Amino acid sequence: MNRTLLAILGVVCAISAQAKIVTQTVEYQQGDTTLEGYLAFDDSITGKRPGVLVVHQWMGLTDYEKHRAEQLAQLGYVAFCADIYGKGVRPKDTGEAGPLAGKYKGDRALLRARVNAALDVLEKNQFVDSKRVAAIGYCFGGTTVIELARSGADIAGVVSFHGGLDSPTPADGKNIKSKVLVCHGADDPFVKPSDLAAFEDEMRQANVDWTLIKFGGAVHSFTQPMAGNDNSKGAAYNEKADKRSWEAMKAFFAEIFK
């Protein structure tokens, strides 16, 4: 718009480019189970800052989530990737991932315990302002962060990217204290219309502060390049929806971390 403005924004970008991202593998416990998460933060920032928990899709904690954590660290947040499955439990293919994800989706109490254990690690991190914490998740992780909210976690917000939205106990919506943003592929065949409707009703009944974005032309896994580009498979990457949902998340954080 304006050359002076552009020049100044150029300086801002240059400053951002000086970020020094530090990453660490972090072991922690839930009950008797050892879990292995992944921390990322910008070492050039001093003082406490907001924290963002990142919950993995059904394949477990992979480089994908680690990269998201690094992106969040570049935005100035302390990011911590949860490990829901346990140290060393990393499915080698979808055949192994299905039953694992199913186990936790079928035992929401255990799922809540696992995600809350990861939240606890993040909130106790020395650089995290524990009053400004959010959680994001992909697919299975999207379900998990909504389940985290349903567990009554006292955090600022959760963001689900193409997560399953069903709940065996819809009345638990009343426990939700955090704001909820759902980024949903409008053509996602893995989230039934009845699940979507039930989710909306759960939010309404419980008077939750919620927003749902439907991305046209997007199916399941729309943020994940490894899903390929064939919508007919029901899961595929969609660059526009990926970028737009990331921007929506940033706007959500700008609001809740004020």
Catalog residues that contact a copy of itself under the rule CB under 8 A. Answer: 1-2, 4-5, 8-9, 11-12, 15-16, 45, 49, 76, 180, 186-187, 200, 203-204, 207-217, 240, 243-244, 247-248, 251, 255
Nearer to a copy of itself, 171 or 251 (CB): 251
Cβ contacts of 68-75, under 8 Å, gap ≥ 24: 68/136, 68/138, 69/23, 69/38, 69/39, 69/40, 70/21, 70/23, 70/40, 72/40, 73/19, 73/21, 73/22, 73/23, 73/40, 73/41, 73/42, 74/16, 74/19, 74/21, 74/42, 75/250, 75/253
Which is nearer to a copy of itself, 96 or 129 (by Cβ)?
129
Helices (H), the chain: 3-16, 63-74, 94-105, 108-124, 140-150, 193-205, 239-256
Provide, rounded to whole angstroms, the least separation between the CB of residue 110 and a copy of itself. Answer: 28
Q: In angstroms, what is the minimal distance from the CB of 216 to a copy of itself?
A: 4
| Closest CB 164 distance from a copy of itself, rounded Å | 18
Residues 6+ apart with CB under 8 A from 123: 51, 130, 133
Residue 58 or 215 having the CB closest to a copy of itself: 215
CB of 140 to a copy of itself, least distance (A): 23
The one-letter amino acid at 53: L
CA distance 246 to 167: 25
The least distance separating a copy of itself from the CB of residue 86, rounded to whole angstroms, comes to 34
Minimum CB distance to a copy of itself smaller for 101 or for 145:
145
Our CB check for a copy of itself shows the closer of 120 and 255 to be 255
